[in-house]
A and B are shown apart, each in its own frame.
Chain A
Amino acid sequence: MSSNTWNRQRAAHLFRRAGFGARPAELDAAVAAGREEAVDRLLSFQSVSTSSLDARLASLGFDLTTFFADDDPRRYQQFAALQRWWYLRMIYTPRPLEEKLTLFWHNHFATSWNKVDNAPLLYAQNQLFRSLAIGRFRDLLLGIARDSAMLFYLDNNTNVKESIQENWGRELLELFTMGVNRYTQQDVRAAAAAFTGWTNQPDPPYAFVFDASEHDFGDKTFLGQSGPFDGTDVIEILSRRPETAEFVTTKLARFFLGFPPRRTLGRRLSDVFLSSGGSIRSVVRVILLSEDFDESADRCDQVKSPTELLVGALKHFDTETNAAPLLDYAPLVGQSLFLPPNVAGWPAWTAGSRRWINTGSYLWRLYFANDVAAARPGADGMSWDHRLYFPASIRTADELIDWLAERLNMLPPAPQLRRALHDYLAQMGPFRWNPDEIADRWGRGAARLMLSSPQYQVQ
């Protein structure tokens, strides 16, 4: 395909990568609008109303802001509510790119409930990612430097001038801005010294405070510059470094492409980052309109992350869910929200997407496919009204297969997928289509096989 090609497959790819999939009507609209306009609509999410999403979330009555005592079992329920809240946002949002980028920032500034232990702090951090998802990188850095969950997670709340704690300073350089080995240990010390006294109140709500009595006001030499730097100065310096531009834009590109950007795109992204004052929106726009992105559409071979798989499947089937069942599946398929394995995030997003898959995690993807396709209308947790889902117009097995592939935002089925579905449908008897009765067997069974297929695991 040439880079000028814009069609339903390309549009479906855009929605998979920049969101969690799309309905046929959304694909129609995107194809009609043209590629650039389709990308700009996704990026202009702040003008899209979220009233129906807000109403859905409000009806569930999650309390994500009350701080419970250490030994109060409601802490666990609240954490589960927080995870559900975010899954529901991803499934039902009219602003898919906002949630996708929030997921990217959650991985980039990985922070775990295992150490933070307070769902309200992670809720606040998640809202920070959302509000600055396409803002200026510098603002995001400053926000996360003052974020209470991060202050706990990387121990900067105990970083004082008499006893410097390097954890935050090191990760700020290594994982959040410049990348490893592009600075010295002295730079780490200087950065840590600049953030001394950036702490939080000792009690709920643990708000950020600057404790001047614990701050090192002395001169520091950081990345070749000297002065009485504080944390804000360090962030200003880091935000303008070419290494930061390269590191952050490469990671963003890799997230959307599934492979590192080619040299031409990589240079262009660094230039855009530096010339736009670190505008994430500008960087993401260039990525989504790049030839590299077209190539990623042609390859269509990035293993979906567990979150993309779980959220995408429920979206593709119009499943009505309260997201509670997803919490059972999340650890089994290898990704629990707010529980990254460590501060470096999930390795599959940097070391290669096939890391998501092993015999265990694929098996649980198959169980999930089974549960999604078997969900009954009106069932608790996950409800699927297959009678409304399948159109009455389908007359042949191939029509069913093609229709499902479109709804699941898949490429046209590979011959083996088509053969498997034919085999399956043949065993179930001569094909007839009557949405009220037969869909229950053929429709569900075909849906389950599609969801189980290797082709559905990639995007």
Chain B
Amino acid sequence: MTLDRRSFFTRSCLAAASMAVGPKWLAAGLFDRRSSSAADTVFVVVQMAGGNDPLNTLVPHSDPVYQAVRPRIRLAPSQTLRVDARYGLHPSLTNLHRYLDSGKLAIVQGVGYPNPDLSHFNSMDYWNRASLVPKATGWLGDTLDQLYASERTPLLHSLAIGSELPPAFESGSVTTPALLNAETFAFPYHAADPADDTAQRAAFPVLLAPVGAANADFVANIGSVLLQDSTAIQTAAASYRPSVLYPDGDLASGLKLVATVISANIGPRLFWVTQGGSYDTHDSQRGLQGQDGLLGELDAAVGAFYEDLRGHGQAERVLLMTWSEFGRRVEENGSAGTDHGAASLLFVLGSRVRGGLFGSPLSLTDLDPDGNLKYTTDFRQVYASILSRWIDTDPVPILNGSYPTISFV
């Protein structure tokens, strides 16, 4: 189901809400929550939900099997962006191709986990929690707990763009705000009556004092976090001047908000944006509604984000990783699409990334019993590398085990 936001916002009181800087009584929150220094590294996750097809992303165009089993959706060598004699990138990925050439982009091939589960839900859960068995917390939530749970005053360390909190951020004690955009992430305005609005905004925080009931107090604490963070984020957004023109779309506007908060340096180190639309391309994979269009949107949005960070002198601090819960079947299906598969690939982008291809090349003939690509790199190796070498924290408790790191960072 898609939410028609236009009709929603014209109907709600938000229609006339303007973006304004929060009142003085909240301004203190901005400083309470400031925590990072300019040197702190930042990690941005972009989720490509639905199961992106790796073989039409990093295309093994010279492999005769690839050309043979995908008669309708294959890309010819000349259509791809050259990587080497064996591989080319999907033609939508012009920015990423440029970053690969300049050594800023790493592509990790064959990412997966043992005994692949072709269910979207289970597979996403594994990736979100960095665990193949049920677990209550997420890997980034665990990271936040490990880094910041001992703080006496909770500060703002993370941000997820979207209406729901990604399970990766579920945590014992550190709250990650989830927001659609800066404009709506504010105490609601009562547009018809400014005096009433002022009185409401003054009275609401009084409601948030603890009452001694665990869940009510939990809600109240979330309310306090919300007021503090919304003020900080709105203040940052009000004065932000992007150094590039971002393309249209939710992914680009989400990344723009991430760049805003990074540049404002108000604390957060972990960010999450989920690309809308689904890579679950069971049919009509080629074309603007399919993977071609989605990769194009991804490339344009990530390209604008990276250039914007460079323009603000922030690119050195930032590492961006994409992920998708699984790859797709080697051969195309009867409806010019591909069915759920196993091993996938992911991108890691950043000024301090060591670029190039990582992970062993995939065999299109040595497949698992379900006929899927065998993974060659456990996704937890990628997490371990980022945790230890970029976020600078011990990956072992978070991943519940030790995984070899990869030298892309």
Q: Could you tell me the distance in whole angstroms from the C-beta of B129 to the nearest C-beta in chain A?
A: 13
The winner among B1, B4, B7, B214 for most chain A CB atoms within 10 A is B1
A127 to B310, alpha carbons, bound, how many Å? 58
User: In the complex, which residue of chain B has the Cβ closest to the Cβ of A367?
Assistant: B188
A366:B187 contact, CB within 8 angstroms: yes
Q: Could you tell me the distance in whole angstroms from the C-beta of B33 to the nearest C-beta in chain A?
A: 13
Digitize B378-394: 1 where CB-to-A-CB distance is under 8 Å, 0 elsewhere.
00000000000000000
Residues of B within 8 Å of A332, CB to CB, are 3, 163, 180
A455 to B121, alpha carbons, bound, how many Å? 34
A303 to B206, alpha carbons, bound, how many Å? 20
Residues of A within 8 Å of B14, CB to CB, are 367
A358:B222 contact, CB within 8 angstroms: yes
Set B184, B190, B223: member contacting A362, Cβ < 8 A? B223
Are A301 and B214 also in contact (CB < 8 A) when A358-B222, A421-B203, A449-B203 are?
yes
Write the residues of chain B forming the contact surface with A, with a CB cutoff of 8 angstroms. Answer: 1, 3-4, 7-8, 11-14, 121, 136, 162-165, 175-180, 184-185, 187-188, 190, 192-193, 195-196, 198-200, 202-204, 206-209, 211, 213-220, 222-223, 225-226, 229-230
Residues of A within 8 Å of B220, CB to CB, are 454
Q: Could you tell me the distance in whole angstroms from the C-beta of A282 to the nearest C-beta in chain B?
A: 30
8 A-B residue contacts at CB 8 Å?
Answer: A301-B215, A332-B180, A360-B177, A363-B184, A363-B230, A367-B13, A420-B204, A428-B195
Residues of B within 8 Å of A434, CB to CB, are none
A301:B216 contact, CB within 8 angstroms: yes
A351 to B136, alpha carbons, bound, how many Å? 9
A441:B193 contact, CB within 8 angstroms: yes
A445:B164 contact, CB within 8 angstroms: no
Write the residues of chain A forming the contact surface with B, with a CB cutoff of 8 angstroms. Answer: 76, 79-80, 113, 299-303, 325, 328, 331-332, 334, 336, 339, 341-342, 351, 353-354, 357-364, 366-367, 369-371, 374, 381, 414, 416-417, 419-421, 423-424, 427-428, 441, 445, 448-449, 452-455, 457-458
Q: Could you tell me the distance in whole angstroms from the C-beta of B251 to the nearest C-beta in chain A?
A: 18
A39 to B178, alpha carbons, bound, how many Å? 40
Residues of B within 8 Å of A419, CB to CB, are 206
13 further A-B contacts with Cβ under 8 Å, apart from A369-B188, A421-B203, A455-B216, are A80-B1, A303-B219, A325-B11, A328-B3, A332-B163, A357-B219, A358-B165, A358-B176, A358-B222, A359-B177, A370-B190, A455-B211, A458-B213
Residues of B within 8 Å of A454, CB to CB, are 207-208, 211, 216-217, 219-220, 223
Set B4, B13, B176, B192: member contacting A371, Cβ < 8 A? B13
Residues of A within 8 Å of B190, CB to CB, are 370, 374, 445, 448
Residues of B within 8 Å of A448, CB to CB, are 190, 200
B223:A300 contact, CB within 8 angstroms: no
Residues of A within 8 Å of B199, CB to CB, are 423-424, 427-428, 445
Are A370 and B206 also in contact (CB < 8 A) when A331-B1, A454-B217 are?
no
Residues of B within 8 Å of A299, CB to CB, are 213
Residues of B within 8 Å of A357, CB to CB, are 218-219, 222
Residues of A within 8 Å of B13, CB to CB, are 367, 370-371, 374
Residues of A within 8 Å of B7, CB to CB, are 328
Residues of B within 8 Å of A351, CB to CB, are 136
Set B136, B165, B202: member contacting A360, Cβ < 8 A? B165
A453 to B221, alpha carbons, bound, how many Å? 12
A302:B222 contact, CB within 8 angstroms: no
User: In the complex, which residue of chain B has the Cβ closest to the Cβ of A419?
Assistant: B206
Residues of A within 8 Å of B162, CB to CB, are 360
A441:B196 contact, CB within 8 angstroms: yes
A331 to B223, alpha carbons, bound, how many Å? 19
User: In the complex, which residue of chain B has the Cβ closest to the Cβ of A440?
Assistant: B193
Set A80, A371, A452, A458: member contacting B204, Cβ < 8 A? A452
B207:A417 contact, CB within 8 angstroms: yes
A341 to B167, alpha carbons, bound, how many Å? 12
A447 to B139, alpha carbons, bound, how many Å? 40
A352 to B172, alpha carbons, bound, how many Å? 13
Set A79, A367, A427, A449: member contacting B207, Cβ < 8 A? A449
